[in-house]
């Protein structure tokens, strides 16, 4: 079990100096315990996470800058700086940056489940189909295109 330690994770710090490239987005892990995992995410304009389902965790996104368009259980919504996006487990959701500007957010999930391992395995994987295949083994199921 990983125990949370007290302290401050500085803006330019990450766990073990890790920075993941996930399909053109940058994920910087900030905290990790069995109960929770957080990361800073930068979505360049035009990048997205296709609709998917987390079967074992709730996901949250606190928007720091820019705009995220989301599809939550088939319904469109948008969030800008200061907004919190709540994505319950087993509810399909997709996250899109259609703004033409970079968007940044703090993401976290509870519990951590297998998401750390997923990000480690899909770091620098350029083929979306391979990402989908790997994700299915880590309790994240991507939905077929509509």
Residue 7 lies inside a defined structural domain of this protein: no
Residue 99 lies inside a defined structural domain of this protein: yes
Residue 54 lies inside a defined structural domain of this protein: yes
Domain ranges, residue 58: 23-142
Residue 15 lies inside a defined structural domain of this protein: no
Residue 84 lies inside a defined structural domain of this protein: yes
For residue 92, the domain's CATH number is 2.60.120.10
Residue 3 lies inside a defined structural domain of this protein: no
Count of the separate structural domains present in the chain: 1
Cα–Cα distance for residue pair 137/132, rounded to 1 Å: 9
DSSP states of the chain: -PPPPPS---TT--GGG--EEETTEEEEEEEE-SS-EEEEEEE-TT-EEEEEEESS-EEEEEEEESEEEEEETTEEEEEETT-EEEE-TTS-EEEE--SSS-EEEEEEEES-TTHHHHHHHHTT---HHHHHHHHHTTTEEEPPP-
pLDDT at 122: 97
Cα–Cα distance for residue pair 85/28, rounded to 1 Å: 19
Entry pTM: 0.94
Residue 5 lies inside a defined structural domain of this protein: no
- Predicted confidence (pLDDT) at residue 51 exceeds the cutoff of 80: yes
pLDDT in tens, 17-42: 999 999 999 999 999 999 999 999 99
Mean pLDDT of 107-132: 95
pLDDT in tens, 81-97: 999 999 999 999 999 99
Residue 130 lies inside a defined structural domain of this protein: yes
């Amino acid at each position: 079990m990983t125990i949370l330690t007290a302290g401050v994770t500085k803006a330019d710090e990450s766990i073990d100096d890790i920075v993941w490239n996930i399909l053109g987005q940058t994920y910087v892990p900030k905290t990790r315990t069995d109960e929770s995992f957080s990361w800073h995410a930068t979505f360049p304009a035009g990048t997205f996470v296709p609709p998917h389902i987390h079967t074992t965790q709730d996901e949250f996104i606190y928007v720091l800058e820019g705009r995220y368009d989301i599809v939550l259980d088939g319904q469109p919504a948008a969030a800008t700086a200061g907004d919190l996006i709540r994505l319950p487990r087993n509810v399909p959701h997709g996250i899109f940056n259609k703004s033409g500007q970079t968007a940044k957010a703090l993401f976290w999930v509870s519990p951590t489940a297998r998401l750390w391992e997923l990000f480690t395995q899909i770091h620098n994987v350029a083929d979306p189909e391979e990402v989908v295949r790997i994700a299915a083994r880590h309790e994240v199921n991507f939905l077929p295109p509509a």
